[in-house]
C-alpha cells in the first residue's frame, strides 16, 4: 500500500496508560476527518494494543516519549498506524495461555489488520505498524 507522509498525523505520548485513551480519541478524529469512520473500532483496538505494548515492554530511558503516526494508504481507503519507541527489541507474540489475563495483543493486531510488521526507524529504536483498509482482507505479516 502506498503511504502519504504529507497528510500524516504525528503525536507524542508519555508511557502513562492514560495516553492510550487520548491516542484513541486522536485516531477517531483523524479517521472521521479522512472519511474512514467505519475503520474506527478495529483501528482503535490495533492502536491500543501497539501503544500499550510500547508503554509496557519497550525498555526506554526515562523521559523518552512514544510517537504515533497515522497515514492514509490505499488511495485514501485505509490507514497505516505506526508506533515508534526507543527500544530495539522486536515485538513477538507470546505463547497462548488460556488462563493468562494478557499476552493476546499481537494476535488481535494480526486478526484485525490487513498487514502488520516492525522495522528500524531513523534514530534509536523501532517502529511497529499495522495497515487497515475499508476493503479488508490483505496479507498478514509479523
Q: What sign results for the dihedral spanned by CA atoms 138, 140, 141, 142? A: positive
List pLDDT tens digits, range 12-25: 998 888 999 999 99
Digit-by-digit pLDDT tens for the chain (142 residues) are 445 566 899 999 988 889 999 999 999 999 999 999 999 999 999 999 999 988 887 766 676 789 999 999 978 899 999 999 988 888 877 665 555 545 568 989 999 999 999 999 888 889 999 999 976 544 444 4
Cα(96)–Cα(90) distance, rounded to whole angstroms? 18
52-57-62 Cα angle (round to 5): 95
pLDDT at 95: 60
Q: Using alpha carbons, select from 51, 41, 22, 56 the residue that is nearest to residue 112.
A: 41
Domains assigned to the chain: 5-91+104-133 (3.30.565.10)
Amino acid at each position: 500500500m502506498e503511504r502519504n507522509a504529507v497528510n500524516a498525523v504525528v503525536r507524542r505520548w508519555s508511557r502513562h496508560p492514560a495516553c492510550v485513551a487520548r491516542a484513541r480519541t486522536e485516531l477517531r478524529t483523524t479517521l472521521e476527518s479522512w472519511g474512514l469512520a467505519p475503520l474506527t473500532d478495529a483501528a482503535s483496538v490495533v492502536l491500543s494494543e501497539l501503544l500499550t505494548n510500547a508503554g509496557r515492554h519497550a525498555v526506554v530511558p526515562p523521559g523518552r516519549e512514544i510517537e504515533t503516526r497515522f497515514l492514509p494508504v490505499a488511495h485514501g481507503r485505509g490507514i497505516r498506524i505506526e508506533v515508534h519507541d526507543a527500544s530495539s527489541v522486536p515485538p513477538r507474540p507470546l505463547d497462548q495461555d488460556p488462563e493468562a489475563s494478557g499476552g493476546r495483543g499481537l494476535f488481535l493486531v494480526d486478526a484485525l489488520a490487513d498487514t502488520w510488521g516492525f522495522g528500524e526507524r531513523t534514530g534509536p529504536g523501532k517502529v511497529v505498524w499495522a495497515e487497515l483498509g475499508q476493503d479488508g482482507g490483505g496479507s498478514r505479516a509479523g
